[in-house]
Amino acid sequence: MLDFFTIFSKGGIVLWCFQGAGVTESFTGPVNALIRSVILQERSGNNSFTHEALSLKYKLDNEFELIFVVGFQKILTLTYVDKFIDDVQLHFRDRYKNELEQKGALKLLNNSFDFGADFKRLLREAEDSSKIRSPAPMRSFKESEKSQKTVKSMIETKGGDKGKEPSGKKNKNTKKEAPAAEPVKVDQGKASSSGQNMVENGNQGLTADQIMQKKRDNFFRKRMAGPTEKPSKSPKPQKPKEKQMRVWDMGGTSTKNLDYSEANGNGSSNGDEQNQETQIDLGMQPSSMKGDLLSVDYESSEDEEIEEEEDEGVVVSETSKTSSKKGGGFGGMFGMLKGLVGSKSLSQEDMEPVLEKMRDHLIAKNVAAEIASQLCDSVAKKLEGKVMGTFTTVASTVKQALQDSLVQILQPKRRVDILRDVMEAQSQRRPFVITFCGVNGVGKSTNLAKISYWLIENGFTVLIAACDTFRAGAVEQLRTHQRRLNSLHPPEKHGGRPVVQLYEKGYGKDAAGIAMEAIAYARNQAFDVVLVDTAGRMQDNAPLMTALAKLIAVNVPDLVLFVGEALVGNEAVDQLVKFNQALADHSMSDKPRLIDGIVLTKFDTIDDKVGAAISMTYITGQPIVFVGTGQTYNDLRSLNARAVVSALMKA
């Protein structure tokens, strides 16, 4: 059933492979896709992956640096695969322990791993064990226990929950004046086919009228008696108890104190007090805004105090944890020393406390919560079973691994060189189109102006397309930028034509149409770059997302940049996922244009809480192309992965 099974080293050399009968395609492609999208993007928390028609499951062996991958058709549901991979891994390790323990890569090249016979045996065992566990066939009615029982024994005055449903249905049926016989038969059929463990409906033996009478009696009985009448006869299911009157601990004994209906004088004096209170409330507001505003420091110091208390709370709990560990006695201490010196392999329990701390640390640095937990899971998977060197603690190994994964995530997965691409488009005599999209207020227009300044400095001519036809003042804002840029780089110095031009059609028009016309105009006038500014929109605003997707699908820009601010927290995940989804859903072609790059704005407002960069690159897998660090034209930077990661890992 398996399509293929490979064992290869992390350095890339395949040690052993197996290809299922009748499978002709090479598995190199799917396995490479697995490596690139899962392992390299740190999504290894979940150990399965689908690629076209194949479903791939994998296991990392970190002690000997091996990867085990099995592939089978997606439509098959094979239950034995997980256990099978584990078995194969253990078997392979045990058999080739000596060869694998040699240092260097020569061991992989010089030894041949004849694993075929063992593999076939393990596969046969796994398939057999899965066949044994197939579901048992259903018993027929005659064989069931119910046919042995008498009807009388199954009558209960107060049937269980499951029992009530068929009776309810039956009542409805009688109300509809269906013949009484049929519902009984239907019910019997239903009851018998609904399994042996259900509570039988005790009302089956009675007619409809009798059932209604019985129910009426029950109802009156409940009403008259206290609320604590327990059902007498139902043995099996846990019937929910009758409602008991709630007793409040702090409640008063009598309701007399709450009765204000006596003297009107009392009431009015209360009313006066109330009026005074509201006056005082109202009085607060007008006078508090007079004079200088309260400075931000006051509030932030309150926040700091709260944070400190929380930190103390955390520290206290941690010290209590460590003290409890020390309380474990000498054995614990020697164990710690042993762990420090000898070669110890990491297990999940060892890493758990460190990973907890790292996860909290990342979340404190503004990484989205689910991204932080996925990252920590992935690092745990990567380190499980790894043998630590001497004098390295678990904490340092985990920190180093996390740091490496963060750098890896932030490194772009493709070449990012906009100037070179613009030159390429220039040589092909077409304009290079960049589209900016994002939610409201993130800095699209400001950063558009900065990018056009940068492009002008490098000698390109820019056409700005004002496709924000909704927000008041959007077109005027872009016109002001255009004027300023033209005054900074006057046309006389650049061959007589203005370096920046604005293409706008006012407000209220269709953005996609304006963009198309702008691109055609740029092609005619030989502009080098077209920067398309769109309106900000919330990610769950479906009509606006459709409009954006249409703009991008129709105009096919060279670069779709998502503008996100660095202040965003968990919201970044939602924004990016929904934007990508909208772009994918509303595109007609099978290769939809998704977000190609990210512009991270307002970077100067965060000190070292740079987690938003990680969240955004992790979710999309696309690089951060620009970083905006201020509001003047010079405040445009590129991302330095090492600096961001060191700021993130700093305590």
Partner 1 sequence: MEADSTGTTMAEKADAEMAENPFEPYIESFRQQLEDQDPVFLIGVIVALAVVVITCVFLKYFLTSKTVQSAVLLVGLCDSGKTLLFSRLLSGKFKRTQTSITDSSAPYKAKNDKGSIWTLIDLPGHDSLRHQYLEKFKSAARAIVFVVDSAIFQKEVRDVAEFLYVLLTDAVISRNSPALLVACNKQDITMAKSAKLIQQQLEKELNTLRVTRSAALSSQDGSVGGSLYLGKKGKDFEFSQLPIKVEFLECSVRGTKGEEGEADIESLEKSLAKL
Binding span for partner 1 by CB under 8 A among 140-148, 191-199, 316-324, 631-639: 631-639
As measured in angstroms, the least distance from the Cβ of 642 to partner 1 is: 9
Q: Exactly one of 372, 380, 388, 409 binds partner 1 (CB under 8 A); which one?
A: 409
Q: Does 14 bind partner 1 (CB under 8 A)?
A: yes
Q: Does 331 bind partner 1 (CB under 8 A)?
A: no
Q: Does 17 bind partner 1 (CB under 8 A)?
A: yes
Residue 426 tokens read as: 């220039």
Q: Exactly one of 1, 23, 40, 649 binds partner 1 (CB under 8 A); which one?
A: 40
Q: Are 55 and 71 in contact (CB under 8 A)?
A: yes
Residue 355 tokens read as: 């990973």
What x/- string results for residues 444 through 483 when contact with partner 1 is judged by CB under 8 A?
----------x--xx-------------------------
As measured in angstroms, the least distance from the Cβ of 7 to partner 1 is: 11
> 311 vs 306, 315, 332, 336, 361, CA distance in Å?
9, 6, 27, 26, 12
As measured in angstroms, the least distance from the Cβ of 575 to partner 1 is: 22
Q: Are 508 and 494 in contact (CB under 8 A)?
A: no
Residue number, 410 or 511, with CB nearest to partner 1: 410
* Beta bridge partners of residue 465, listed in sequence order: 503, 532
What x/- string results for residues 541 through 570 when contact with partner 1 is judged by CB under 8 A?
------------------------------
Q: Helix crossing, 369-383 with 394-410: angle to 10°? A: 120
Q: Which of 622, 595, 568, 604 is nearest to 437 (CA)?
A: 595
Q: Does 620 bind partner 1 (CB under 8 A)?
A: no
Q: Exactly one of 1, 10, 47, 486 binds partner 1 (CB under 8 A); which one?
A: 10
**Alpha carbon distance 165, 102 (integer Å):** 68
Task: Specify the 3-state DSSP secondary structure of 226.
Answer: coil
Q: Does 110 bind partner 1 (CB under 8 A)?
A: yes
Residue number, 413 or 484, with CB nearest to partner 1: 413
Binding span for partner 1 by CB under 8 A among 100-108, 224-232, 370-378, 497-505: 100-108
**Alpha carbon distance 336, 358 (integer Å):** 20
Task: Specify the 3-state DSSP secondary structure of 26.
Answer: coil
Residue number, 456 or 518, with CB nearest to partner 1: 456
Residue 147's φ and ψ, nearest 5 degrees, are: -65, -20
Q: Exactly one of 176, 415, 429, 591 binds partner 1 (CB under 8 A); which one?
A: 415
> 388 vs 333, 337, 342, 583, CA distance in Å?
19, 14, 8, 45
The residues, any chain, with a CB within 8 Å of residue 246's CB and separated by 6 or more, are: none
Task: Specify the 3-state DSSP secondary structure of 354.
Answer: helix
Residue number, 468 or 596, with CB nearest to partner 1: 596
Q: Exactly one of 87, 404, 517, 574 binds partner 1 (CB under 8 A); which one?
A: 404
Torsion of CA 413, 419, 424, 427, to 10 degrees: 180
Report CA torsion sign: 147, 151, 153, 155.
positive
As measured in angstroms, the least distance from the Cβ of 61 to partner 1 is: 13
Binding span for partner 1 by CB under 8 A among 261-269, 295-303, 322-330, 407-415: 407-415
Describe the strand order of the beta sheet including 2-9 as a list of residue ranges: 2-9, 66-73, 54-61, 48-51
Q: Are 63 and 385 in contact (CB under 8 A)?
A: yes
Q: Exactly one of 5, 8, 58, 68 binds partner 1 (CB under 8 A); which one?
A: 8
**Alpha carbon distance 361, 369 (integer Å):** 11
Q: Exactly one of 3, 4, 6, 648 binds partner 1 (CB under 8 A); which one?
A: 6
Q: Does 9 bind partner 1 (CB under 8 A)?
A: yes
Q: Does 636 bind partner 1 (CB under 8 A)?
A: yes
Residue number, 515 or 639, with CB nearest to partner 1: 639
Q: Does 39 bind partner 1 (CB under 8 A)?
A: yes
DSSP annotation of 466: E
As measured in angstroms, the least distance from the Cβ of 627 to partner 1 is: 5
* Beta bridge partners of residue 562, listed in sequence order: 437, 598
Residue number, 9 or 174, with CB nearest to partner 1: 9
DSSP annotation of 239: P
Q: Are 478 and 440 in contact (CB under 8 A)?
A: no
Q: Exactly one of 12, 195, 237, 342 binds partner 1 (CB under 8 A); which one?
A: 12
Q: Does 380 bind partner 1 (CB under 8 A)?
A: no
Q: Exactly one of 20, 45, 231, 412 binds partner 1 (CB under 8 A); which one?
A: 412
Q: Does 400 bind partner 1 (CB under 8 A)?
A: no
Residue number, 126 or 639, with CB nearest to partner 1: 639
Residue number, 175 or 420, with CB nearest to partner 1: 420
For partner 1 (CB under 8 A), the number of binding residues is 50
Binding span for partner 1 by CB under 8 A among 99-107, 116-124, 168-176, 352-360: 99-107
Binding span for partner 1 by CB under 8 A among 339-347, 351-359, 493-501, 632-640: 632-640
Subset of residues 63 to 92 that bind partner 1, contact rule: CB under 8 A = 65
Q: Which of 428, 409, 431, 422 is nearest to 620 (CA)?
A: 409
Residue number, 109 or 520, with CB nearest to partner 1: 109
DSSP string, 97-155: HHHHHSSSTHHHHH-----HHHHHHHHHHHHHHHHHTSPPPPPPGGGSSTTTS-TGGG-
Residue number, 167 or 446, with CB nearest to partner 1: 446
The rounded radius of gyration (Å) of the Cα atoms in the chain is 35
Amino acid letter, 22: G
Q: Exactly one of 120, 185, 420, 483 binds partner 1 (CB under 8 A); which one?
A: 420
Q: Which of 531, 463, 471, 461 is nearest to 494 (CA)?
A: 461
Q: Are 613 and 410 in contact (CB under 8 A)?
A: yes
Q: Does 591 bind partner 1 (CB under 8 A)?
A: no
As measured in angstroms, the least distance from the Cβ of 16 to partner 1 is: 10
**Alpha carbon distance 431, 448 (integer Å):** 16
Q: Which of 431, 616, 617, 602 is nearest to 532 (CA)?
A: 431
Site residues, partner 1 (CB under 8 A): 6, 8-14, 17, 28, 31-32, 35-36, 39-40, 65, 104-106, 108-110, 404, 407-409, 411-415, 417, 419-420, 423-424, 454, 457-458, 603, 626-627, 629, 636-640, 643
